Chain A
């Protein structure tokens, strides 16, 4: 379904700001699986998602998605296969346009856009139906500018927009991180429903250990641009928050060791 073969990316190569963001990531994701990606700040988890979405081209490695080698496809072309929800609720919607118009845009994801009326009666009916399932009372406000809604409402709508046409892959980039706990719970509930209903193949980046434990059928923990730990099958099901914290502590110690080793070597040889 989704296969990453040793993808690498260095930003600003050859300058003082050089960042080796992805240092050879390989991943195999079967149809219908739900992968949770954990990791500290700067571990490359969001970069990995952006590499798959095509925000930038990778330096080396290949990306295969739903039978297509998409490594060299531009972002807008990959969008035909990928639905996305971003961390920032402002990123996923066009604020000055109405809820209905935002959905009209999403309803043509990856398809040609012609001179047909965007808000067809068919779309409006389906929209009222699907939005009312969110139970947020938004179905009566479809003509309102989407910018007037709260972050939680916007994320729930973005999720609905991203899956309006069933995507081959759903990318969730810390999509509850900017929300208050109550809205975050609500958006997570909607997320689970949507994924279950459409049997979506999903990649979710999160900061929340609790989400990592509760959601998904597999998980990876990233560190310094590569995959440090993988959890699958029964191991993933048994995973607890404490296990994850222990692994994080492990990585932190290893990092310290790296530094002290470097200092030791420097003192000894230079």
Chain B
């Protein structure tokens, strides 16, 4: 049960990553590898501030702002300097590695001291339940884990609602159109390049927010923690689409969250069954490869069958 709660919590935290990837990959059709650097940036900024005794909410928001800045840089490289989208992401990701080390001052920052949203949850759990363990459907679970999960769930729901609201505003619909049909929206007076920059900023902001929460949850920020995260997010988005489809905006947002949680659960089960953690990235990459290729192959099969 503790394992399940943990997987759910991490899945929810990483759903912010999935939402970021949804924006860059599905709205703008860019595989934005900046993500590998910006998730670490969010974690690093948040961790350092928390160690310094800054309020966790403020530290988390600072992490979010860091991601906004990273995404803005990638966007400017693409839109103003006409650098290939993939290359722009690689450049910023590589640069961010050094930036992250500078922010942290070393390659790993443990959160032993200072207030994080986990310690806040722990105290809230004490206050509400009056004891460290709670009976949940016949299982004894730690009150801290339960309250953490609920807190994360609340944050994700708020983030999803905010995102849904944003994408239904004049600004947000124009941003979606800038990805869907740039020629059309330019003819309607939108500076497509500027919207692309804003979109990548928002995407990486969400990713960094995810990193900030992850650092607090796992109790440390690490320079290596971002490796392969873009593929992780892609896997979540793809699973989400097969779950809910992408017919409407609401379903797509819900799908990204559900896909992230489901993927984390699958990974937890696979690890429990003895999957070597070292193989995790390889398995994730193979999964995304299969998800990209299988639909094409199935379609070719179907056409061959018809012919």
Chain A residues close to B by CB (< 8 Å): 53, 74-77, 79-80, 82, 84, 86, 90-97, 101-102, 104-106, 108-111, 113-119, 145, 161-162
Report whether A95 and B181 are in contact in the complex, using a CB–CB cutoff of 8 Å: yes
Report whether A77 and B189 are in contact in the complex, using a CB–CB cutoff of 8 Å: yes
Most chain A CB within a 10 A radius of its CB, from B170, B177, B186, B247: B170
Select one of A91, A110, A114 contacting B183, CB under 8 A. Answer: A91
If the complex has contacts A95-B181, A105-B173, are A119 and B168 also in contact, measured as CB distance less than 8 A? yes
Select one of B168, B171, B180 contacting A94, CB under 8 A. Answer: B180
If the complex has contacts A93-B181, A94-B180, A95-B180, are A109 and B170 also in contact, measured as CB distance less than 8 A? no
Select one of B169, B172, B180, B189 contacting A111, CB under 8 A. Answer: B189
Interface residue B184 (Cβ < 8 Å from any Cβ of A): yes
Most chain A CB within a 10 A radius of its CB, from B166, B181, B190, B247: B181
23 A-B pairs with CB atoms under 8 Å apart are A74-B191, A75-B187, A76-B189, A76-B190, A79-B186, A79-B187, A91-B183, A92-B184, A93-B181, A93-B184, A94-B180, A94-B184, A96-B180, A101-B177, A105-B177, A105-B188, A108-B174, A108-B188, A109-B188, A110-B189, A111-B189, A113-B170, A118-B169
Chain B residues close to A by CB (< 8 Å): 166, 168-174, 176-177, 180-181, 183-192, 247
Report whether B181 and A80 are in contact in the complex, using a CB–CB cutoff of 8 Å: no
Report whether B177 and A97 are in contact in the complex, using a CB–CB cutoff of 8 Å: yes
Separation of A18 and B252 alpha carbons in the complex (Å): 46
Separation of A117 and B189 alpha carbons in the complex (Å): 19
Separation of A256 and B177 alpha carbons in the complex (Å): 47
Min CB distance B210 to A, Å, is 24
Separation of A97 and B175 alpha carbons in the complex (Å): 12
Report whether A118 and B184 are in contact in the complex, using a CB–CB cutoff of 8 Å: no
Report whether B173 and A101 are in contact in the complex, using a CB–CB cutoff of 8 Å: yes
Residues of chain B with a CB closer than 8 A to A119's CB: 168
Separation of A95 and B180 alpha carbons in the complex (Å): 7
Report whether B170 and A115 are in contact in the complex, using a CB–CB cutoff of 8 Å: yes
Residues of chain A with a CB closer than 8 A to B173's CB: 97, 101, 104-105, 118
Separation of A105 and B181 alpha carbons in the complex (Å): 12
Min CB distance B296 to A, Å, is 20
Separation of A90 and B184 alpha carbons in the complex (Å): 9
Min CB distance B174 to A, Å, is 5
Report whether A116 and B191 are in contact in the complex, using a CB–CB cutoff of 8 Å: no
Min CB distance B195 to A, Å, is 9
Select one of B171, B180, B183, B192 contacting A113, CB under 8 A. Answer: B171
Residue of B nearest to A85 (CB): B187
Separation of A93 and B176 alpha carbons in the complex (Å): 12
Residues of chain A with a CB closer than 8 A to B183's CB: 86, 91
If the complex has contacts A94-B180, A95-B181, are A79 and B188 also in contact, measured as CB distance less than 8 A? yes
If the complex has contacts A77-B189, A94-B184, are A114 and B169 also in contact, measured as CB distance less than 8 A? yes
Instruction: Beyond A82-B187, A86-B183, A94-B176, list 13 extra A-B contacts (CB 8 Å).
Output: A53-B187, A76-B186, A76-B189, A92-B184, A93-B181, A95-B181, A105-B174, A111-B189, A113-B174, A113-B190, A114-B170, A118-B169, A118-B172
Min CB distance A126 to B, Å, is 16
Min CB distance B67 to A, Å, is 21
Report whether B188 and A114 are in contact in the complex, using a CB–CB cutoff of 8 Å: no
Min CB distance A151 to B, Å, is 15
Residues of chain A with a CB closer than 8 A to B186's CB: 75-76, 79
Most chain A CB within a 10 A radius of its CB, from B181, B184, B186, B187: B187
Residues of chain A with a CB closer than 8 A to B184's CB: 91-94
Residues of chain B with a CB closer than 8 A to A111's CB: 189
